[in-house]
Each structure stands twice: as C-alpha cells, then as structure tokens.
Structure 1
Amino acid sequence: MDRREELLDEVTDHVLEHGLIGLTLRPVAAAIGTSDRMLIYHFGSRDGLVSAVVAHAGARSVLAVDALPAARSVRAGVNALWVAYQTEPLNSCLDVYCQAAATGLIGEEPYLSDARASNEKWAVSLRDYLVRCGAPPRRVHRIVTLVDSALYGFHLDLATDRPDELARGVDDLAVAAQRLAD
C-alpha cells in the first residue's frame, strides 16, 4: 500500500469515528500523526481529501454489503440489510455520506463526480445482494431504487424516531419489495 492509501485509510478511520462536519486539515493531520502539508501533497486540497474520504467510505460500504450472506427472500434480505445499516461499518459510512449530503458537498464538484461513481458501485452491490436473496434480475433495478431511497430515509430517522417504529416501517418496505419481486 502506498503512502496516499495509508493516509486515506487513517483519515477515513478518523472521520468515521469523529464525523465529517467541521473537518479541517491541521487537526485531522495531528490526529493521525502527519502534517497538513503532507495531506495537501497527496490530496491537493481539503476538498480533494474530503472527496476521497467520502468515496473511500462508500467503498467500505460496498464491501460490507458484498459480505452479507443471502437471505431466504427479498423481504428477509431487506430486513437484514436494515440490521446491517445499524451496525459497523455501514452505520458510520452512511453517516459520513449523510453528513456530506447535508452540508451540500454531494451536489458540487469535486464531490459530485466521486459521489456518482460511488453511488453506482453501491447500487451494483445492492442489486447483487437482492438477487442473491431471490429478486429477479429483470425487476431488481426497481427494487433497489425503492429500498435504497427508503432505507436512507430510515437511517436519517434513527436520530429522532423510535427503533421499533422504524423496524415496522422497514418491514412494510420489505413486504413492498417482496411484492415487486414476486
């Protein structure tokens, strides 16, 4: 692994633990034992670093979904995906994406292109997972669109809503996804 990748791993770990909002170069550099100048050398700017971190967190999310075992049905798969969203590493990775979106970063360059590329990989991972759970390939795109958007919203609601209410809502989503699959 080259030095840039090592730094990216370390900064991503730091961001997953402490969040993205308010990230500045000097404190993060000090936290990982390097200098802000070294981060600028490898990433060009704070924007370049943050964009790389958001993409790297997205790549970690993809690996986590790819590692999920197949469930016995689409409904069970959606519910299992929700459980995974609430555990590490997905919970923190999704939080970073939410923070980037909430601060307006996702809609602007250099973040926009990286976010789109990351989102495409995420969608492929979700498609593969749901096909492993029994979704027919000809319908899986519609199921992914529904499930991804809804679970993202449920994830945002974790901060304010009761987990049992969210779980019921997720199961309602899972039932709808199963109907699309059938």
Structure 2
Amino acid sequence: MATTKPAPSARETELLDRAYAYSLTHGLADLSLRPLATAIGSSPRVLLFLFGSKDGLIRALLARSRTDELELLQEINSRYDDAPGLEVIARELWSWLAAKERRPLMTLWVEAYGRSLVAPEGPWADYARSTVADWLELLATAQPEQERTSSRGEARRTGVLAMLRGALLDLLATGDTDRVTAAVEDYLAN
C-alpha cells in the first residue's frame, strides 16, 4: 500500500523558506544545523523532526531551488503560442540568469550541480541530470517541430545549453556582465 507524505505544515514551509534564504547566502556544502537553526529562529531538533535528517533538509532545499528554476521555465514558455526559436529563448534565459539579483540562486545552483557530480549518492543525487533535462525541455519547445525532433535540433539546443552554463560560470567568477553578455550575443548571432 503506497503512502504519501502529508502536505507540509505552515511552520515547515516557513522554516524551509528561511533555510532557503540562508542557503542562498551561505551555501549548502558546509551546512551545519546548529548555526542554520539559530539563524532562522529554530532548533536543530525541530529541523530534524520536520525534515528527518540533514540530508532530508538538503534535499528539500534543492527541491525549493529547482522550483524557482521551473517557475522561470514555465513563465518563459507561457509567453509564446508558437516556437519562438532557440535564439529568442536563449536571450530571455540569459537575461534572467545574468540579473544581479539572481547571483545567489545561480551560485547555489552551481554548488548543487557540482556536488551532484562528485557525491551522486547523497542528497545531491540526480540534481545535475534533472536540471539538464529541464533546460533541454524548455529549449526544445522553442524549436519548430521539424527541428525539435531532428538530431541536428537536439545538438543545437545542447550547444545553446552548454554555452549558457559556461557563460554563467564565467559571469559568476568575474562579475563582468558586459563582456559575458557580448559573448552570448556573438554566439547566438552565428
């Protein structure tokens, strides 16, 4: 008989939101429950009760960050009745990714992506693969049907995704928005 987890309580949701805000500033790699609990007005025991373990809390925080990303993808998708083309969607994505107010979220994304590659059995499991699939799905919807189903179309959207990820890493490392945006524009123009 299958069981489902009950909907989170208001307190669990509140603490998750506070923990998420904390993780955007402090990261997840070296997360310690005691400083986190103090910072968000809770206790390690309450966090363990609500999330089961530190790994359970990290999984919940990763799911919360992925929700932010998926909301972006759905928002962009909803703007178009027809496939607008990879270049249009890539420019919208880049504009969203490069916005200064999203640097904490993007830094957290890079941390979680990297951790899922080096610690694939832990709470990070499947994070990188899942985000690649999400972004490729959005890019596919930007392509006309004939292009979308072709191997060339798949290669093109994979290249656009790789370029955006590389540009994001460069931007986070240097903060040079103008230079990196010019490189994104140059890539998309060709």
2:70 to 56, 62, 72: 62
What residue ranges of structure 1 are gaps of 5+ in the alignment? 177-182
Question: Which residue number in structure 2 is paired with residue 79 of structure 1?
Answer: 91
Deviation at 1:114, TM superposition (A): 4.3
Deviation at 1:83, TM superposition (A): 0.8
The answer to whether the 8 Å contact 2:116/2:128 transfers is no
The answer to whether the 8 Å contact 2:85/2:143 transfers is no
Deviation at 1:36, TM superposition (A): 1.1
Are 1:48 and 2:61 matched, yes or no?
no
What residue ranges of structure 2 are gaps of 5+ in the alignment? 1-6
Are 1:12 and 2:20 matched, yes or no?
yes
Are 1:24 and 2:32 matched, yes or no?
yes
Are 1:138 and 2:172 matched, yes or no?
no
Are 1:96 and 2:108 matched, yes or no?
yes
CA distance change for structure 1 residues 122 and 34 in 2, over 3 Å: closer, same or farther? farther
The answer to whether the 8 Å contact 2:19/2:36 transfers is yes
SS at match of 2:174: coil
Distance 2:56 2:140 in 1: 29
Count of residues in correspondence between the two structures: 173
Question: Which residue number in structure 1 is paired with residue 187 of structure 2?
Answer: 173
Are 1:150 and 2:190 matched, yes or no?
no
User: 1:126-178, CA deviations, whole angstroms, 9 ceiling, x for partnerless residues?
Assistant: 433x248x9942244333321222211111111226322211211133234xx
Superposed CA RMSD in Å reads 2.9
TM-score between both structures, scaled by the size of structure 2: 0.73
SS at match of 1:67: helix
Distance 2:74 2:164 in 1: 17
The answer to whether the 8 Å contact 1:61/1:122 transfers is no
1:2 to 5, 8, 25: 8
The answer to whether the 8 Å contact 2:62/2:112 transfers is yes
Q: Percent identity?
A: 28
Q: Select the structure with the greater relative contact order (CA < 8 A; seq sep ≥ 6).
A: 1
